[in-house]
Amino acid sequence: MTRAGLIRAAVFFGLLLVMPFAIGPQWVMNLLIFTIMYAGLASSWNLVGGYAGYPSLGHAAFFGVGAYSVALIFRDSVGDGYAPFFVLPLIGIGAALLSVPIGWIAMRTRADVFAIVTITLLFVAQSLAYNLRDLTGGAQGMGVAVPPFPIETYTWPFYYAMLVLLAVAMGISFYFRRSKIGLSLSAVRADEDKAHGVGVHVGAVKVLAFAVSVGVVAMIGGVWAFYIGFIYPAFAVDPLITIGMVLMTFLGGRATLWGPVIGAFILVPAQQFFAYQFGASQFYLLAYAAIFLIIMLVLPRGILPTIAGRLSRWRLRRLGDVPIPDVATESDSEALAGQAADSEGKAR
């Protein structure tokens, strides 16, 4: 925890806190809500896909669990409108507990097999949402009671709820980076067999990361359902939600604190802009994919790790007294930065 990091976080969240007071058009607030939502989703996915290196493709199933939980509890009335927000922690804990046996089974596999197992979970959840008509309404969907918020500030409670959940996801991510849990997950990502050999509780730490990750995702899904007001299985348990989490995390940089947030703040507005420009022609999907492809070709390890690696190599070349690798990997960016700092100290 550095002074620069605290200032960066204070400026970022400070600007977002006052943003509703400065924004007039409703469509801009809507865009901000979905951008912050995906930033929270990507930060949550990063706990498993980034720190642990397990590419889960089933997180949208738990997004749907949170959405349908809110819809079932508050189908008829939401009282003063704030009750669903207070229920969110219980929904997150329930989703996390539900995920423990699922994670324990799924994480007995690795890499590609794990991705297949989790995407199978997603389609199972979607099939259940379609077929359990008495519970979910099936293809006809189900609604959530409309809150009695003032029209002028109707979106504000949803905006701040999403912002709080983004802060929670980033806070957990920061804790993982600075704790023994994060160190254990890094060891698992680097070499799971060696991590087990040196005493890391591999199974427990993987299941813990999975449970915490999907718990936050479920809470975000609950706010989404309350904001949308009417949900369908095709949207509540949508593979594109998971794909969005994955793309944004890879774009910004896996296993980084700010990478998923940067990825979300680039891709969500870009997607909306191209959708507006090209409309129903669907060409916006090609433009959206092209932007992502270009960035990944120029910054192959994600924005933050690539920039950090290049800055570190530039500093080392300027000092000229430390051997410089031709290509820096994701794991050695921090080592390069440390070498550069030591060399600057020696130069002084």
How do residues 88-124 score in pLDDT, each as one tens digit? 999 999 999 999 999 999 998 887 789 999 999 999 9
295 falls within a domain: no
Could you give the CA distance from residue 157 to residue 12 in angstroms, rounded to a whole number? Answer: 19
Domain-embedded: residue 122: yes
Same domain, 321 and 187: no
187, pLDDT greater than 70: yes
Higher pLDDT, 253 or 337: 253
pLDDT of residue 284: 66
Q: Which of 242, 266, 290 is the last residue of a domain?
A: 266
Q: 174 and 30, same structural domain?
A: yes
Poorest-pLDDT segment among 99-108, 122-131, 282-291, 302-311: 282-291
Angle (nearest 5°) at CA 164 between 49 and 173: 30
Least confident of 12-21, 60-69, 91-100, 307-316: 307-316
CB atoms within 10 A of CB 4: 7
Please check the confidence at residue 264 and state whether its pLDDT lies above 60: yes
Q: Does residue 324 share a domain with residue 182?
A: no
Residues of the chain with pLDDT > 90: what percent?
61
Tally of CB atoms within 10 A around 110:
11
Q: Tell how far CA 258 is from the center of its chain.
A: 11
Q: To which H or E segment does residue 143 belong?
A: strand 142-143
Reported as a pLDDT band with limits 50, 70 and 90, residue 204 is very high
Structure token pair of residue 39: 């930033």
Q: Which residue has the higher pLDDT, 280 or 77?
A: 77
Give the N- to C-terminal CA distance of the chain in Å, as an integer: 25
pLDDT of 247 over the 50 cut: yes
Asked if 135 and 38 sit in the same domain, the reply is yes
Cβ neighbours for 330, distance < 8 A, ≥ 6 positions apart = 253, 254, 255, 301, 302, 305
Count the domains in the chain: 2
Same domain, 173 and 312: no
Looking at the structure, do residues 187 and 83 belong to the same domain, yes or no? yes
pTM of the model: 0.88
Please check whether residue 243 is in contact with residue 292, taking contact to mean a CB–CB distance below 8 angstroms.
Answer: no
- For 58, the 3-state DSSP assignment is coil
Does 67 share its domain with 161?
Answer: yes
Neighbours of 191 (CB within 10 A): 11
What stretches of 279-322 show up as alpha helix (H) in DSSP? Answer: 283-298, 303-319
> How large is the C-alpha radius of gyration of the chain?
21
Whether 81 and 188 share a structural domain: yes
Same domain, residue pair 170 and 252: yes
**Whether residue 123 is found in the same domain as residue 241:** yes
CA atoms of 123 and 128, how far apart (whole Å): 9
Q: Which CATH number is 74's domain given?
A: 1.10.3470
Tell me the mean pLDDT in the region 147-169.
Answer: 95
Distances in whole angstroms, Cα of residue 321 to Cα of each of 98, 108, 114, 260: 54, 46, 44, 34
6 found inside a domain: no
More confident residue, 108 or 211: 211
More confident residue, 40 or 178: 40
47 in Cβ contact with 76 (< 8 Å): no
The count of residues in the chain is 348
Average pLDDT score over residue span 334-338: 45
Q: Quote the domain boundaries for residue 330.
A: 305-347
Regarding whether 333 and 233 lie in a shared domain, the answer is: no
Beta strands in the chain (DSSP E): 142-143, 230-231
